[in-house]
Structure 1
Amino acid sequence: MGETGDTSLSVAHLLDRLFANVGTVFLGKPEIVRLTVAALLADGHVLLEDVPGVGKTLLAKSLARSLGCRFRRIQFTPDLLPSDLIGVTLYREHNGEFVFQPGPLFTEVLLADEINRATPRTQSALLEAMNERQVTVDGVTHRLGPPFLVIATQNPYEFEGTFLLPESQLDRFLLRLRIGYHDRATERAILHQHRSGEPGEDLPAVLTAEQVRHLQAVTRAVQVEHDIVEYILDIVEATRQHREIILGASTRAALALYRAAQAWAVIHQRDYVIPDDVQRLAVPVLAHRLILRSSTGVSATTAETLVQQILRTLPVPS
């Protein structure tokens, strides 16, 4: 892989430093770290759908500190307003001017905690920010990032006082991931690690925002051969024709799988995509975008099973 613009460190070296640094705090789930970084490289966002207490906040914090980026956490609640995210325009009486006061959305890594507890109106306030990397207030457009990474969380097993994320909102997340419970050895290490307080408060930054932007540029330049493109389109088309799926993957979903596969190639020190990259990312990229015939919402397990089934039935390019 290529070199960074202002240093002699290779892309592989930069990523190794990032993974090692996050791994000193977020224990036992290196694949989840790699997938979250893949979303960052592909300039996408992550939805962590899991039970409380498995390390979602710790993952977001440790990644933000490792990148040397600004980090904000927003606790989503039913009374949260769009202005609480975006900010407000205030009138300064002493000089007779209106001044925009930015909200917590103006950061580089944002943790939207329990996003499904906010009303659809507030959830939709994230749409422009997540998709366009900008916010418009009183006719004035304010740019966000780069980098700009949203890591949102929701508990799939608790429904009281929650609002389902609309399909348009789910479609803005590049990946949906589940951390899962840790094994016994890892939980033992976590207990020891937390004896003197929450780890990672002094975690050093190992990358700069400029280096993150360079890694994103390297990702966009990864070669995707014609056969791989056709393979991605075959997978997407198969979701639209499956009898158990009412609404299949969109063109945006195909583009998301394309970009995620590029990022996975970079993480594995390649400047070209192979079928394994597409297969590994197909489930976390596509499953949350499907609407199934058997339920009003998307069952994560069932949707993932259907995508895996599609992968097994399609011919793989050589």
Structure 2
Amino acid sequence: MTSSAEQLLSTDQQTPNDDQQKEKSQSKVTKKSLGRGLTKIVRNGEVVSYEFRMMHKRTPYEKSLGSAKDRSEEQARIEAEKYRTKILKERHKNGIEKLSADLAMPRIPCFKSYEYARNFVKELNQIAPLNPERVTSGNLEPIDLELYGVIWLMLLLPLSMEDLLQLATTDIQSKRSEPYLTLRRAEKHTPHLDVDLPYSAITIFEALEMKLDRDSYREGLFPLLRRLSKSELKNEMKQVLNKISPTYVIDTNKFIAYFEFTAVKFSCFRSEFIKDYTKKRRGQNECGISNSARRLLMTWWESRLLQGTNSINWDLNLLSAPLKKRN
């Protein structure tokens, strides 16, 4: 009997403690924002503590401000404002640094920077070098050869993809002396094109003629691409561009704008001449510009694009070139 009574008494003594622990575990804890990063912790309707919470560098920054027994809400707010000011100053500093970096980097069409543009051309030349023998001896499939050829020509001439895909082999005129040929639409296409081809562009056509089936090549300069639908062509071009530039999306429609922007900024030619050439790409009789001036412009662009320099061959008719005024 004694042992049973002791057990019962022991149970009665433990019950209140168990109930307290259960009640404590079931107590409701909520957080209520007081603004400007200050938050109060409430348990069963009573404020128990304060904390500071604010997003910083895309992650929540949390800091305990102590128990409500030790400090008032006003004291907690003063402490929270210190942390808030510190974070805002760091944000402002980071924003200024980012802005300065953005301003220091010239905004150019198509590419993030001129350095990125040079790397793009370098990588393109690694995959599809401007050398017919190296290209034809490589592992490029005929359709890849056409795709890389189109990219090269859009950069070098500059022309749009629509212009290039409409061209036929008869449009290449060889009346002018090497290393220049003329890409001229012999048939009644609109708009009319009359563009000088530098040597680097000629090598692309040589590579195409060497590797592609001659019967197919007679259909046009890019027979395989001409057979594709717009969606198929877009998908094929996207895959090729991803190989050249896997981390940055390149829009080939902006190649012409990239040429015009760079030529106006760095070349010695007048901006009116550059913009007129970019817009019209007409012959001498249509826009009143000498052939030698047009050749000079394309020589400069070829050197700038492939070598990253502003060097130019001034052996041509310099006096007929529309140059900028010198101070």
TM-score (norm 2): 0.30
Kindly indicate which of the two structures has a greater share of residues assigned to helix: 2
Of the two, which has the highest radius of gyration?
Answer: 2
Question: Per chain length, whose mean CA-contact separation is higher, i.e. which structure has more relative contact order (CA < 8 Å, sep 6+)?
Answer: 1
TM-score (norm 1): 0.31
